[in-house]
Amino acid sequence: ARYQVGYFIGSLSSTSVNRELSQALIRLAPGDLDFEEIPIRDLPLYSPDYDAAYPPEAVAFKDAIHRSQAILFITPEYNRSIPGALKNAIDWASRPWGQNAFDHVPTAVIGASIGDIRTALAQQSLRAVLSFCNARQMTAPEAYIKYSPELFPGDGVVTDKSTEEFLTAFMAEFREHIARVLTVLPRGA
């Protein structure tokens, strides 16, 4: 089987280190995973006023989630939590009430920062949100990545062998997680 994986980059930065990490993850992932970025940049700030008629960019955003069989979150930590843009996107996906796009969806969480906390608190915060959204989270392995330009020189290259092996194993485990969840909760894609 092939699996369609949508991924969210939690950062809107044009020089995002998490985008660098995403390129490495895609390069090291099992060959039967296909990736599509689900952009969050153009979503307005969510309001329940939109529930009656979602704007086209929000409809396209939710459609992208629905055609994905799994979602990977790659996010920085902002002030010990997740960036507002990512929370906003999740809020859009979760609504209108009864049409939560994350319901039973296999997910994984990973993040990179230049600091020593390595997005641990952002990931805990994101996991709490995804729990409420009833996503099926991969809980292990956890992955807290410390970015440096030496480690990630670009184009998905990882210069350190043990980091490369760890990221490869993380994506292999995610593939197994997706397969396990879809066995009991099939998803059209």
Residue ranges in contact with ligand FNR by CB under 6 A:
11, 13, 16-18, 76-80, 113-115, 117
Distances in whole angstroms, Cα of residue 43 to Cα of each of 5, 14, 123, 137? 20, 17, 22, 24
CB of 184 to ligand FNR, least distance (A): 34
Largest CA distance in the chain: 51
CB of 164 to ligand FNR, least distance (A): 19
| Token output for 32 | 């039967």
The region that residue 108 occupies, defined by phi over 0 for left and psi between -120 and 50 for alpha, beta otherwise, is beta
CB of 77 to ligand FNR, least distance (A): 4
Taking 3-state DSSP, the helix, strand and coil percentages for the chain, each rounded to the nearest 5, stand at: 40, 20, 45
What is the four-CA torsion angle of 121, 126, 131, 133, rounded to 10 degrees?
160
Q: Which is nearer to ligand FNR, 16 or 107 (CB)?
A: 16
Q: Compute the distance between CA of residue 173 and CA of residue 159 in angstroms, rounded to an integer.
A: 22
| Token output for 115 | 């600091």
Q: Which is nearer to ligand FNR, 47 or 79 (CB)?
A: 79
β-pair type (106-113, 33-37): unpaired
CB of 117 to ligand FNR, least distance (A): 5
Q: Which is nearer to ligand FNR, 59 or 114 (CB)?
A: 114
Q: Which is nearer to ligand FNR, 87 or 175 (CB)?
A: 87
| Token output for 41 | 């940049």
CB of 81 to ligand FNR, least distance (A): 7
| Token output for 98 | 């009864």
Q: Which is nearer to ligand FNR, 3 or 170 (CB)?
A: 170
CB of 185 to ligand FNR, least distance (A): 31
Q: Which is nearer to ligand FNR, 115 or 153 (CB)?
A: 115
